[in-house]
Amino acid sequence: MARLAGSGLFGDHVIYERPGQWVFAAAPLGAIELDTDQVQVTTAGHQTTRGWTGRPVAALARALESLRVGCGEGASGTAYGWIGFESCAYTLDAQQYLSGGTKLAHLMIPRMEVTVTDAEVTVNGASTAELVAIEELLGAPAGPPPMGHPTDISADPSGYRERVAAAVAEIAAGRYQKVILSRRVELPFRVDIPASYRLGRMHNTPARSFLLRLGDLAAAGFSPELVVSVDDDGVVTTEPLAGTRAFGRGAVADLAARDSLESDPKEIMEHAVSVRTSFAEMVSIAEPGSSAVADFMAVRERGSVQHLASTVRGRLGGDRTSWDALEALFPSVTASGIPKRAAVDAIFRHDEPRGLYSGAVVTVSANGSMEATLVLRAVYQSGGAAWLRAGAGIIGQSSPEREFEETCEKLGSVAPYLVRAT
């Protein structure tokens, strides 16, 4: 996958890994770009730009339907792309924090898909010349893994500890129960995103992974959880993770950290309230009586950290669509807070604009099935800037120093595996 992305032969692209399957989707037939002012639909080099009102997911659903018609028969497959955190402002009464032109989403329909499983490689939509190039790229020896570039993640120019302390004070005053605050780490070098994806994936155990280059944004990450999936039968799944300890420091230290995680009242409370919120959101879009929690407070290992994790499922109700499920469950409660409206307000006040961070990489099939995976543990690059970002869940019992340490633990899933661009 990294070799296909790094070849530069296929234009904008998205790599998406789900259990047992990798897809390289490239050479867009058309694309949708949504910002606070307008939605732009591009097909065959022709652009249509118009204003929009209402909810971002509804605007995207309408635009995708239009795009599929404009792209013709080749657009019958899956759309790929991303939805930014700021799109939640429209459903959570935080639009006053958005500036004009803020990017909210970018989706594309690929002409070409390369799908790799344990059993086979399938190529759809490629020209004869592209097929030859793909065979050469996939058939070449793997070669040694690239070398990571040392990266300092200990600096705190954003005043993270002070922002955590301010949030703890607001929680004590009863303004909200929990909020996820993050910090951005600027990188002093340009990153080889495909090579970093390859090296990072060798050292991570994500729920999903992704690499994308759409327009001027490139990113690669190792997502720890699903925001939402809706399968062909209408089963809706979300996987809230909350509660964190370091992992990968040796068997004895990892077991001690796990024991601490499973017995720490702060971590247990943080997870329980997150699951309660996810369950309530599931109930709002599911058939009555179909919502349930499974694997409550299981421990899942995700790269350099381990989390408390649960699974919440339901069956899509009545006239609801996968877009309704996404709207109800986005942003992930584990990347926003509780209650969501007040927590998102705090995020807009205390955090820098997030963009793709804590948003979702999305796949949407023509029949309406969908996956939206949470964008965390990722590296981002746009224009002349490259950066990392990580956050921690703040509750009344939070210590600013411990929450800063947690961001370092999470950054450890990506920072050691960044490959400097040459």
Concerning whether 170 is annotated as a catalytic residue, the answer is: no
Q: What pLDDT digit, counting tens, does each position of 10-19 carry?
A: 999 999 999 9
Q: What pLDDT digit, counting tens, does each position of 87-142 carry?
A: 999 999 999 999 999 999 999 999 999 999 999 999 999 999 999 999 999 998 98
Nearest Cα neighbor of 241 from 206, 265, 213, 211 is 206
Q: What pLDDT digit, counting tens, does each position of 296-332 carry?
A: 888 887 767 787 888 999 999 988 999 999 999 999 9
State what percent of residues in the chain have pLDDT above 90. Answer: 78
Residues 6+ apart with CB under 8 A from 142: none
Cis geometry, peptide bond prior to residue 206 (ω within 30 degrees of 0): no
Cis geometry, peptide bond prior to residue 339 (ω within 30 degrees of 0): yes
CA angle (262, 263, 267) in 5-degree steps: 70
Residue 176 backbone zone (phi > 0: left; psi -120 to 50: alpha; other: beta):
beta
State what percent of residues in the chain have pLDDT above 70. Answer: 99
Residue range 379-404: average pLDDT? 95
pLDDT score of 199 more than 90: yes
End-to-end CA distance of the chain: 20
Residues 6+ apart with CB under 8 A from 319: none
Kindly report the pTM of this predicted structure. Answer: 0.93
* Residue 352 confidence class, pLDDT cut points 50, 70, 90: very high
User: CA dist 71 to 30, 77, 83, 330, 402, Å?
Assistant: 7, 11, 21, 28, 51
* Residue pair 230/317 in contact by the 8 Å Cβ criterion: no
Question: Measured between alpha carbons, how far is 394 from 338 in angstroms, rounded to an integer?
Answer: 10
> For domain 2-417, which architecture applies?
4-Layer Sandwich (3.60)
Residue 19 CB neighbours (<10 A) = 6
Catalytic residue among 17, 33, 170, 225: 225
* Residue pair 207/189 in contact by the 8 Å Cβ criterion: no
**Predicted pLDDT of residue 74:** 55
